[in-house]
Amino acid sequence: MIIRKAVFFLGLVTILYASDDPTQNRKSSLHFTPKVINLYREKVRRMFYHAYDGYLNHAFPLDELKPITCVGQDTWGSFSLSLIDALDTLLVMGNTTEFRRAVALVLEKVRDDANVNVSVFETNIRVVGGLISAHMLAGRHKDLVADWQGYPCDGPLLKLAVKMADRLMPAFNTETGMPYGTVNLKYGVHKDETPITCTAGVGTFIIEFGTLSRLTGDDKYEKVALKALDALWSTRSPIGLVGNHINVQTGQWTATDSGIGAGVDSYFEYLAKAAYLFKRPSLMKQFHAHATAINKHVRKDDWFMWVSMAKGAVSLPIFQSLEAFWPGTLTMVGDVQDASRIMLTYSEVIRKYGFPPEFYNIHNEEPADKRAAFPLRPEMVESLMYLYRATKDETWLELGAEMVDAIESSARTKCGYATINNVKEHNIEDRMESFFLAETTKYLYLLFDTKNFIHSKGDHARILTSSKNLTCILFGGGYIFNTEAHPVDPGMLDCCSIQAKREQEVGEKEVNNGDHHEKRELTEQGGEKYYENQYGKEENLIEFEVDEKMKEEAERKRQEEEAQKKSEESRKAMDKVRQFLIKAHLKDEEKQRNGETSESAKKFMDQLLKAYPNHTSEMESLNKEALIEFEEIQHLNDIREIVRDIPIPDVFCERCCYPLHEIVDSVALRVLMADVYEYHIYPKRKVNFHHGPVCWIEETPRIEDDYKNEPPSVHTDKWKSPLYDSDMVVLSSFVGDDETEAVRKFGFNHLLAPGYRKLDRLIAGQNVATRRKKSWYYEV
């Protein structure tokens, strides 16, 4: 009787929650034996190398391959982007020989100071992320890092990643801490750069920048990334949604459509992943809060719409292929059953067309007009990989195999794989984006390579002793992928963080022991003498005095000029006297021949002798006046040199600059006028201005004057984020603590996936769980 009731109840549950569900499970038509799985793994390997070789043979050193015409093109900044994106894929597939050659090419060709405008978002996820991951994974092979001094916390690829990140830092110097979308690698952010940036462009830095901070010991990268996340979180709507585009200077939303697709997607992804990677419960709490709001307002059945962030009203009933990352993220945080439901819904599109189109109209069940392309995107196979790792359900292998066959059949060209221009017709266009090598082929390979080291649960771990005599356990598993599928090893972050902390403690100990050279000098010389020797005497700008050497130089020049002037005047006077005397003598001789008496020459000489003292006195007076005037001019020029160095607010203009006012000789007046214009005139008239550098009309404008290239000062109060160190979980602190107190103190439960519910155990393993009416997500 009890058995019959149990069978009846199980059947009732299946009827109520599975049979009427359009996403109920389908049995795989292909039995995936180890041989079949290995077959598809090798198919993917050949696919990668066909595309990789095509890029190197026809497109390198440009960014991407055009696979139909077999030529290259620059797209995101001329970084040899496809090669950087492919570095860690080579190691995932075990090719250390080609990896070594590719690294040499990257270090030789890639420049961080090119005069080129780049996307801050794309450069971060592809270049910075790709270099970091390649640096990390290279350590699995000792021969690859044998010459890298300081590994794992230093190395040539890491150095290049740091340089690239430093070039992006000026973008974060905004009123809100949210970054601009574009930066010039050489000059910084243009003065006329738009402050409008997409949500993902604000919230997709914490994995790469946080990793850099942990590897290098410099916290500035993690601080700016957390500040951006903090600012974004504070702008969510009352119903918990975020929009699509925001003004990074004002924090005002400029596009208020809310969803999980283009322009927003990786923000949610990074909240969950960074919570695990850096052990930050607050980030996971934010993810859960967003997920709750998404399920309530954005989700319709198992599709996700675009809605108003304020009211939740549907604005666009479209599925975007970028949204396919969501089941993978849900799987990672432990909501496997719901992720399965959503993925089975998406699978209908794959089975219908072979690929997901960029936009799919949910109501019409057709690709959206002019948005029917499939640019070889990875999001679908990314979620398939996570789901198969979590469930071992062959359904996900089957869907992955279908995509491999479809890509091979429709997208392959003689030198690569082309974008599918229309999923209904399977025609192609001439582009192969770098993420095909970084993500699509990597996730497909990992889907079918179940024993890959990326899936490690500790069996691939290695003990490494760094150059600082620090023993680390690396490559133990738990890799976190950035949104470009570049994996990060958590163990390496912990190792380098400990090393950086030890070095900091040693430095502080030296300071406290009074070992610093400057401290000894300060004691021996006294404060004023030390300061004077280090920085010189403090100059009074108002009562400026000419330097003694300048006075000596001026006096020497004056004497030279005076002597030269006297010599020239004397020569001219003597010439005139000589000519007059000659004429006088000739006249006297002529009159004497005629019997007349003449003494013209004698009289002239007498007059000349009488006039000489007066002439000498007059010349001396003129020379004194000239000397005084010269000294005044010299003094004035010296003062103006100081005045020119005082920054003033300059009005923005294209390829030009205007002085605030005519140059004056008073420093005090110039400072006063600068303050008047900066705090009163310009703000009142809403004139767009910035601080210095001073540009004068007679100077030729410089290119760098059109850019702002200062990184944010992360150690000021403005850049303090409540996310930075308030909730970081330090695992060692759990030793000896009461477990309940530790959970209360750190919120560690937010980093744990939920267990199975009782209802899950009543449903057959191959069936999908019930559609939940209420979310289990934690509330903030």
For 285-302, what is each residue's pLDDT tens digit? 999 999 999 999 999 999
Mean pLDDT (whole number) for 718-737: 52
**3-state class (DSSP) for residue 483:** coil
Q: Are the C-beta atoms of 160 and 131 separated by less than 8 Å?
A: yes
Q: Which two tokens stand for residue 104?
A: 């040499």
Could you tell me the residue ranges of all domains in the chain? 550-645
| Catalytic residue positions, numbered | 122, 265, 358, 379
Q: What is the DSSP string of 321-372?
A: GGGGGHHHHHHHTT-HHHHHHHHHHHHHHHHHHSS--SEEETTTTEEPTT--
Cis amide leading into 649 (omega within 30): no
The chain-wide mean pLDDT, for the chain, equals 80
Q: Which are the contacts of 309, defined by CB distance < 8 A and separation ≥ 6?
A: 237, 239, 241, 242, 243, 253, 256, 257, 258
Q: Please tell me which residue, 656 or 209, carries the higher pLDDT value.
A: 209
Instruction: Find which of 177-186, 565-574, 686-695 is predicted with most confidence, using mean pLDDT.
Output: 177-186
483 is in an annotated binding site: yes
Q: What is the pLDDT of residue 318?
A: 95
Cis amide leading into 152 (omega within 30): yes
Where is average pLDDT lowest: 652-666, 691-705, 715-729, 731-745?
731-745
Query: Is residue 667 pLDDT above 60, yes or no?
Result: yes
Phi, psi of 429 (to 5 degrees): -130, 165
pLDDT above 90 coverage of the chain, percent: 56
Mean pLDDT (whole number) for 598-617: 62
Q: What is the pLDDT of residues 403-461, one digit of tens each?
A: 999 999 999 999 999 999 999 999 999 999 999 999 999 999 999 999 999 998 888 88
Q: What is the separation, in whole angstroms, between the first and last Cα of the chain?
A: 47
Mean pLDDT (whole number) for 556-568: 66
Mean pLDDT (whole number) for 258-272: 98
Query: Is residue 500 pLDDT above 60, yes or no?
Result: yes
Q: What is the pLDDT of residue 672?
A: 74
In terms of Cα–Cα distance, which of 244, 390, 250 is closest to 318?
A: 244
Alpha-carbon torsion 738, 741, 742, 748, what sign? positive
Burial track 134-143 (b if 16+ CB lie within 10 A, e otherwise): bbbbbbbeee
What pLDDT band is residue 683 in, cutting at 50, 70 and 90?
A: confident
Phi, psi of 359 (to 5 degrees): -125, 135
Query: Is residue 596 pLDDT above 80, yes or no?
Result: no
Residues forming a β-bridge with 649: 691
Task: Give the C-alpha separation, 292 to 778, whole Å.
Answer: 8
Exposure on the CB side of residue 305, measured as CA atoms within 13 A: 17
Query: Is residue 650 pLDDT above 90, yes or no?
Result: no
In terms of Cα–Cα distance, which of 142, 60, 143, 53 is closest to 90?
A: 53
How many degrees, rounded to 5, is the angle at CA 648 between CA 642 and CA 650? 135
Q: What is the pLDDT of residue 633?
A: 62
**How many beta carbons lie within 10 A of that of residue 488, not counting itself?**
24
Query: Is residue 776 pLDDT above 70, yes or no?
Result: no
Q: What is the pLDDT of residue 697?
A: 45
Burial track 100-110 (b if 16+ CB lie within 10 A, e otherwise): eebbebbeeeb
Q: Which are the contacts of 72, defined by CB distance < 8 A and separation ≥ 6?
A: 55, 58, 59, 60, 61, 62, 63, 64, 65, 66
689 by Cβ neighbours in 10 Å (0-12 / 13-18 / 19+) ranks as middle
**How many beta carbons lie within 10 A of that of residue 448, not counting itself?**
24
Q: Are the C-beta atoms of 488 and 277 separated by less than 8 Å?
A: yes
What pLDDT band is residue 3 in, cutting at 50, 70 and 90?
A: very low
Q: What is the pLDDT of residue 506?
A: 64
Q: Please tell me which residue, 462 or 514, carries the higher pLDDT value.
A: 462
Task: Give the C-alpha separation, 499 to 502, whole Å.
Answer: 5
Task: Give the C-alpha separation, 45 to 86, whole Å.
Answer: 13
Query: Is residue 176 pLDDT above 60, yes or no?
Result: yes
Q: What is the pLDDT of residue 579?
A: 72
Task: Give the C-alpha separation, 712 to 730, whole Å.
Answer: 28
Q: What is the pLDDT of residue 773?
A: 41
Q: What is the pLDDT of residues 356-407, one digit of tens each?
A: 999 999 999 999 988 999 999 999 999 999 999 999 999 999 999 999 999 9
Task: Give the C-alpha separation, 505 to 353, whole Å.
Answer: 60
Q: What is the pLDDT of residue 102?
A: 98
Where is average pLDDT lowest: 50-64, 275-289, 590-604?
590-604
Q: What is the pLDDT of residue 473?
A: 85
Q: What is the pLDDT of residue 587?
A: 74
